[in-house]
Amino acid sequence: MKPIELEKVQKTLDAFRDKEVYIHLETTNGAYTGHFNKSLSAGAFIRNAKVSFSQAKIVPAEMGYRVGLKMELGWIYAEGITDYEMFEETKLLMAGHDDQGRLMVALEISETPFKN
């Protein structure tokens, strides 16, 4: 994966606007990091949610970047994004890793469903 290039990622996000796409969103401070942090574990996981968004924004956040996708009835947000990778021009993977390289958040957008 490569560090976020703000303009490049924004342009890629814009290419997915007003299309039906599949979302994979995962957050964690538990499964991957719980053995280092003994506080309450929390996480979220959604895969192959079919959505359409009219606006996409990536902006600097306190740690990494925040990505927001505006849907008709609300927003999808991921914060702490640090890296990205494009696959086949039809899939964008964005992820946030802590200072030791552990996954903290992942947001992936695809024109085709993700494999289970």
**Which residue ranges make up each domain of the chain?**
2-110
Q: What is the mean pLDDT of each run of 10 residues along the chain (116 residues)?
A: 96 97 88 54 88 98 95 96 92 92 93 92
- Return the pLDDT at 114: 94
- The residue assigned the tokens 């702490």 is 80
Q: Which CATH superfamily is domain 2-110 in?
A: Hypothetical protein YojF (2.70.180.10)
The whole model's pTM is what?
0.88
- What is the 3-state composition of the chain as percent helix, strand, coil, each rounded to the nearest 5? 10, 50, 40
- Return the pLDDT at 38: 57
Radius of gyration of the chain (CA): 14
- Return the pLDDT at 30: 53
- Return the pLDDT at 42: 73
- Return the pLDDT at 43: 82
- Return the pLDDT at 116: 78
